[in-house]
Amino acid sequence: MPDKKQSLLMGALVAGILSTSYLSLINLLCCMGVIAGAMVAVWHYTDTNELTIPTGTGAGMGAMAAIGGGVISMILNLVLIQAGIRHDVAMTEFILNTWGSSMPPEQIEAMEAQIEADFEFGAYFLNALLGFVISAVFGAIGGAIGAKVFKKGGDEPTDLSVIEEL
């Protein structure tokens, strides 16, 4: 079976960049950035090697690309936070400016406290772990979709590892 590392890295880069800072807003649409990264990984692998892969293989590749993208996103976001760019604060301010007049006072106070709060690595790390799990699920979905969409070489999977396992 051909090596998947380059395809997984490409998919992880796409998912990671689309999940970083303000670009991560695309993930509000059913984790679209993660699904796109997973599909890029499968597309690159099937296109480069001119083969069709089973849906399960695509799902596995998608999950791995999504987890890699999560690591890339976590590192990039840490760098941006250290540089003073906090997209979470900007989003909270946007929500307050847009819908603040219709929100209960307690909720407004909680959001203002969030803006003033210092960055805590422990909370960031726990959120990142939860994000890895969610990303893996949506990455698997994107990879499975990619395996069905990006076929090279007929309707049957030409992945020989499936035959060798029998």
User: What pLDDT score does 153 carry?
Assistant: 67
Domain boundaries, given as residue ranges, for the chain: 5-83+131-165
Q: Would you place residue 164 in the very low, low, confident or very high pLDDT band (cuts 50, 70, 90)? A: low
**pLDDT higher at 94 or 38:** 38
- Match 């076929």 to its residue by tokens: 151
Give the C-alpha distances (Å, rounded to integers) separating 78 from 20, 55, 81.
Answer: 10, 34, 5
CA pair distance 41, 55, nearest whole angstrom = 13
CA pair distance 85, 164, nearest whole angstrom = 51
Q: What percent of the chain has pLDDT over 70?
A: 90
Q: What is the mean pLDDT of residues 30-36?
A: 93
**pLDDT higher at 89 or 162:** 89
